[in-house]
Amino acid sequence: MIRRRALPVAQWGALAVAGLAVAALAAALSGCGTAGAPAFDASPVSTAATMAARASGTASPTGAGPGGLAGGTTTHLVVPDVIASVAGGLTPADLAEIKKIAGVRAVLAIDGARITVNGVRLTVLAAPAATLRPWTPPTTAANAKAWSAFQAGRLVTTSQAASAARLAAGGTYPVAAAVAARITDGGTALLGVSGVDGVVSQAEGRKLGLVRNVAVLVNAPADDPVTLTGQVQAALGAGARVVRLVSAETATTLPVDRSPGTGRPASYLGLFQESAARYCPGLSWTVLAAIGQIESADGQNMGPSTAGALGPMQFLPSTWAVWGIDGFGDAGRPDIMNPFDAVPSAARLLCADGASDSGGLRQAIFGYNHANWYVNEVLTLAAEYAREY
């Protein structure tokens, strides 16, 4: 066992991955009176168990994006492929070794601890909003109200944790962590992991004395997940615990809606759903949603890219000249910057490359952006949208 430094709040107990992202960390911080390194259940599982938060309205984004569309996610999402932890926390040298691994595109170190809020033990994580938000489920990443509360230093919890600890939004409650304090509840959001009860800003976490760099999330979509797990293990040593969070193979079976709605969509979600149904029957709307998110964060980064691509779906002007259309009954010249034209045009291009059939989906996505990592990231994120919506 490698022990870097003593934990200020809880000792390491048994770990079990019950959800994507940081589920393993939650159990690590639960503490069962042992000082040994954690043991992981290495089976890959889903990030979001239900969309109850969406049904209740707690995960609804606010405001309208480009083109008057509501519900865009204002940050580029990152899919965690691996989580790793070291007893006592990861050092800067540990993180540097992980970043050296070929194919690693993003790394996020997380603070965390098992603390008591209003008399109930909760597992709470901490990181800066700008770095944590992209790693959360799509519905939570789009929840502007939750992130406003988070940045104000409030505790954002799952609905289950709020119920267990008898928390109400806006209320102030006693906290027992490395220090005794009080914290204001910032409401609930879908965190997408089993065992993680809440999140606070890094600044708030430091005040509470949470364990620094208790775990790290790694994104490397170009790598084989099994190989990546071994590489991270080698980088951190035998005392580390590393868990693969995604399946070894990305799924191409995704939900398909063959009944387009009528009228003009009012949200990005509706635009993706109706564009797939209307302009490429057989294509899952989740693929369009994933591409739109990865390419421009739903219209937040309209380009030009370094290659000269423009608009919410990042078309090259030369490609747009061939595939661009007026969508949803618009009249006039197709506009590369208009999501009502760009998303249907993307559906049309994907359809021509075989995306209406699951057997041709990978090749069609590769045709959109010639990179295997891109295909894997699109399909993994599409599966996230399918689970949450």
**What string of DSSP letters covers 238-258?**
TTSEEEE-S-SS---------
- Here the CATH number for the domain that contains residue 325 is 1.10.530
Domain presence at residue 251: no
User: Beta strand 82-85 with 241-244: parallel, antiparallel or unpaired?
Assistant: antiparallel
Domain presence at residue 106: yes
pTM over 0.75: no
Domain presence at residue 256: no
297 in the same domain as 222: no
Q: What is the b/e burial string over 308-325, where b = at least 16 CB atoms within 10 angstroms of the residue's CB?
A: ebbbbbbbbeeebeebbe
279 in the same domain as 230: no
Domain presence at residue 259: no
The one-character DSSP state at 83 is E
275 in the same domain as 221: no
374 in the same domain as 340: yes
Q: So what's the pLDDT on residue 147? A: 94
- For residues 98 and 220, what is the distance between their CA atoms, to the nearest angstrom? 11
Q: Do residues 323 and 348 lie in contact, with contact meaning Cβ atoms separated by under 8 Å?
A: yes
Residue that finishes a domain, picked among 244, 278, 293? 244
**Domain range holding 305?**
268-388
User: What are the tokens at 238?
Assistant: 């035998």
Rounded (5°) CA angle 155-156-159: 130
335 in the same domain as 223: no
304 in the same domain as 237: no
155 in the same domain as 276: no
- For residues 164 and 119, what is the distance between their CA atoms, to the nearest angstrom? 10
Domain presence at residue 258: no
In tens digits, what is the pLDDT along the chain, a chain of 389 residues?
A: 222 222 223 222 222 233 333 445 544 454 333 223 332 232 233 333 222 232 223 333 334 445 556 555 556 788 788 888 887 889 999 999 999 999 898 999 999 889 999 999 999 999 999 999 888 888 788 888 999 999 999 999 999 999 999 999 999 999 999 999 999 999 999 886 656 899 999 999 999 999 999 889 898 877 778 888 999 999 999 989 898 877 655 666 788 877 777 778 888 889 999 999 999 999 999 999 999 989 988 888 898 999 999 999 999 999 999 999 999 877 889 999 999 999 999 999 999 999 998 889 999 999 999 988 899 889 988 988 887 77
Q: So what's the pLDDT on residue 128? A: 94
Domain presence at residue 138: yes
Domain presence at residue 250: no
Q: Tally the domains of the chain.
A: 2
Neighbours of 25 (CB within 10 A): 29
Q: Would you state the torsion angle of the CA atoms of residues 346, 347, 353, 359, taken in this order, to the nearest 10 degrees?
A: 130
Location of structure tokens 């369009």:
288
Q: Do residues 83 and 21 lie in contact, with contact meaning Cβ atoms separated by under 8 Å?
A: yes
224 in the same domain as 357: no
92 in the same domain as 44: yes
Domain presence at residue 360: yes
297 in the same domain as 235: no
Question: How does pLDDT run across 343-381, given as a tens digit for each residue?
Answer: 999 999 999 999 998 889 999 999 999 988 899 889 988
User: What are the tokens at 241?
Assistant: 């615990």
111 in the same domain as 67: yes
231 in the same domain as 91: yes
